[in-house]
C-alpha cells in the first residue's frame, strides 16, 4: 500500500481499527547541555505547531498506545512514559479541524472520494497526555504525509500551539516537577557515569530554580540513590571531579515506592 492509499484508508475507515473520540498526545521533553526542550511537530495543512499524538486501537492498552506513538515519533522504543492528565473540558477541543484539512492531505475529488462532515476524525476528541524524558541527541524524527515538520523548542519559548496544546505543555511540566520530588528521574537523561554538577544542573533545569550546591547531593546520598565511583573525569588541570552512577536497586525501589525529596 502506498503512503497515500494508507492515508485514504485511515481517514475514511480508521474508526474500524481505532477508537473514535479518544486520542493520546505525548509531551516529549529533551535535555541536553543544561537546556530543557520539547519536541513539537507541524501537521500537514496546519500553520501552528502541536504535540505529537494519535488514536488508540480498539483492543490496545493505553500505555501500549503511548509507547507506540512515542516510538513512531522519536524512533526510540521502551521510553519511560508517565501519564499526566486527560483533557476533555472543552467538548470541541479540536473543532478547528475541518473537512478541508483532511481534503488537503489526500485530494479526494481527484479520486472520486467524498469526506463527510461526520468523519470520525472531526468529532469530539478527549485526549490522554503522557510525558517522556529523553536525551534529545538520541531522537530521530521522520516526517510523513501527516507530519510536515518537527523541531525542538526551548521550554520557555514554546509558541502558540494548536487546539489546547499550550495547556497540555503547562500541565506536563507541572507534573514532571511534582514527580521530581517523589521519584528519581535522571537515568534516561544522564550518561551512565556522571559528575555531581551534571545531576545538579539537570534538576535545576527541570525545576527551573536554583538548588543549594552542598545540600542537593547530600539529599540524593541520604536516599541511597547514588554510588560514588573510584573514577574521576579529567576536565582540566586541578579539575578532575569524581564520577557517580545511580544505585540501580535503590533507584528501582524508589520508582516503585516513591520518595520524598526535600531540596
Binding site for a second copy (CB under 8 A): 19, 21-22, 56, 58-64, 83, 85-86, 88-92, 124, 126, 128, 174, 178, 181-182, 258, 260, 262
Question: Which one, of 111, 118, 127, 134, lies nearest residue 39 by Cα?
Answer: 134
Q: Which is nearer to a second copy, 95 or 151 (CB)?
A: 95
Q: Whole-angstrom Cα distance, residue 181 to residue 185?
A: 9
Smallest distance, a second copy to C-beta of residue 57, A:
9
CA distances from 61 to 77, 85, 176, 255 (A): 16, 17, 23, 22
**Residues recorded for the chain:** 263
Q: Which cell numbers hold the place of 128?
A: 490522554
Q: Which is nearer to a second copy, 118 or 230 (CB)?
A: 118
Smallest distance, a second copy to C-beta of residue 23, A:
11
CB within 8 A of 168, min separation 6: which ones?
A: 25, 27, 51, 85, 87, 127, 129
Q: Which is nearer to a second copy, 96 or 228 (CB)?
A: 96
Residue with cell 473543532: 95
Q: Which is nearer to a second copy, 119 or 247 (CB)?
A: 119
Q: Which is nearer to a second copy, 62 or 76 (CB)?
A: 62
CB within 8 A of 44, min separation 6: which ones?
A: 104, 105, 145, 146, 147, 148
Smallest distance, a second copy to C-beta of residue 18, A:
11
Smallest distance, a second copy to C-beta of residue 90, A:
7
Smallest distance, a second copy to C-beta of residue 59, A:
4
Smallest distance, a second copy to C-beta of residue 215, A:
12
Q: Which is nearer to a second copy, 5 or 71 (CB)?
A: 71
Q: How far is CA 171 from the centre of its chain?
A: 12
Amino acid at each position: 500500500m502506498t503512503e497515500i492509499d494508507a492515508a485514504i484508508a485511515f481517514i475514511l475507515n480508521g474508526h474500524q481499527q481505532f477508537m473514535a473520540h479518544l486520542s493520546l498526545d505525548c509531551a516529549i521533553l529533551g535535555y541536553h547541555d543544561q537546556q530543557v526542550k520539547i519536541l513539537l511537530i507541524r501537521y500537514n495543512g496546519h500553520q501552528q505547531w502541536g504535540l505529537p499524538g494519535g488514536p488508540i486501537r480498539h483492543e490496545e492498552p493505553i500505555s501500549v498506545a503511548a509507547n507506540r506513538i512515542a516510538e513512531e515519533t522519536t524512533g526510540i522504543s521502551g521510553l519511560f512514559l508517565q501519564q499526566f492528565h486527560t483533557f476533555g473540558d472543552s467538548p470541541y477541543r479540536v473543532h478547528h479541524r475541518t473537512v478541508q484539512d483532511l481534503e488537503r492531505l489526500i485530494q479526494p475529488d481527484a479520486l472520486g472520494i467524498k469526506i463527510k462532515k461526520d468523519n470520525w476524525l472531526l468529532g469530539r476528541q478527549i485526549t490522554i497526555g503522557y510525558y517522556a524524558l529523553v536525551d534529545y541527541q538520541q531522537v530521530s524524527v521522520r516526517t510523513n504525509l501527516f507530519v510536515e515538520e518537527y523541531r525542538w523548542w526551548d521550554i520557555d519559548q514554546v509558541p502558540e500551539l494548536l487546539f489546547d496544546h499550550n495547556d497540555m505543555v503547562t500541565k506536563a511540566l507541572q507534573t514532571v516537577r511534582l514527580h521530581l520530588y517523589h521519584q528519581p528521574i535522571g537515568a534516561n537523561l544522564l550518561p551512565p557515569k556522571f559528575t555531581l554538577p551534571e545531576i545538579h544542573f539537570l534538576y535545576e533545569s527541570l525545576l527551573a530554580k536554583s538548588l543549594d550546591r552542598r545540600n542537593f547531593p547530600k539529599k540524593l546520598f541520604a536516599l541511597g540513590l547514588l554510588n560514588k565511583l573510584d573514577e574521576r573525569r579529567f576536565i582540566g588541570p586541578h579539575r578532575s571531579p569524581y564520577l557517580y552512577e545511580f544505585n540501580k536497586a535503590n533507584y528501582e525501589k524508589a520508582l516503585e515506592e516513591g520518595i520524598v525529596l526535600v531540596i
